[in-house]
Amino acid sequence: MKKIGFVGGISWTSTLDYYKFFNQGINKKLGGLNSAECVIQSLNFHDVQDKGWTNSFDLIFDACKNLVSSNVDAIVLCANTAHLFADQIQSKIDIPIIHIASATAKEIKTKGLKKVGLLGTKFTMEMDFYRDKLKAFGIETSIPKKQKDIETIQDIVKNELGKGIINESSRNRFIDYANELYNNGAEGIVLGCTEIPMLIGQKDFDFPVFDTTKIHIDHIVDFALESID
């Protein structure tokens, strides 16, 4: 089994899911008392927020270097937004980063979809790094049209979900945002923030919903076990 290094704490709530789902995935494949071999480098999310995502390269890169020194076989960034730096970090290290957007794009392709709506942090929705990765797979991306909706999504992710707080009113808002994207031409919805599945999921919709956390984990499990018969 390959050993996986996780950059977590961004936020800790979704890192819990990564650890849980990764171990469940390994055990499902191998059975018995098998569990995952992994190292978690958990950041203080306050430090990321204090610097701002666009100024947090050194924090993320230092965490990756620590994981490399722990002899992991691959690195996982436990947040969609952290993939802002994924390609830059990949160019500086010799082990693979298992990219969440590439994994998601491959899953979207299996459904035959060409346009998806994207819900995530303000940075993931508005910056090019995520949409460009989907575009490389021939997938067009749309985001909420109203700036106030984008700001509301950011506020809920940061000040509620990042603290493990679940509000029914926020859940209803996210359902509305997803339905609006679908009604405006998206063929499915990408939950492009690892905390959003705390609020909504496939059970809430009749159209395809892509839980990036679980998709990412599936690819991580496959990578970890690819050398095991």
pLDDT digit string (tens) for 151-198? 999 999 989 988 889 999 999 999 999 999 999 999 999 999 888 999
CB-side neighbour CA atoms (13 Å) of 189: 28
Q: Which residue has the higher pLDDT, 62 or 162?
A: 62
* pLDDT tens digits along 93-131: 999 999 999 999 999 999 999 999 999 999 999 999 999
Beta strands in 84-181 (DSSP E): 115-120, 140-142
pLDDT confidence of residue 63: 97
Determine the 3-state secondary structure of 52 from DSSP: coil
Which of the 8 DSSP states describes residue 123? H
Tokens of 118: 């994207």
142: confidence class by pLDDT, cuts 50, 70, 90: very high
**Is residue 228 over pLDDT 80?**
no
**Is residue 229 over pLDDT 70?**
no
21: confidence class by pLDDT, cuts 50, 70, 90: very high
pLDDT confidence of residue 162: 84
Phi, psi dihedrals of residue 114, rounded to the nearest 5°: -120, -15
Once rounded to an integer, what is the mean pLDDT over residues 123-152? 94
Omega prior to 70 cis, within 30 of 0: no
Once rounded to an integer, what is the mean pLDDT over residues 7-12? 92
Once rounded to an integer, what is the mean pLDDT over residues 34-55? 94
Q: What's the predicted TM-score (pTM) here? A: 0.90
Q: Mean pLDDT of all residues in the chain?
A: 94
Q: Give the C-alpha separation, 156 to 85, whole Å.
A: 23
Q: Give the C-alpha separation, 161 to 80, whole Å.
A: 14
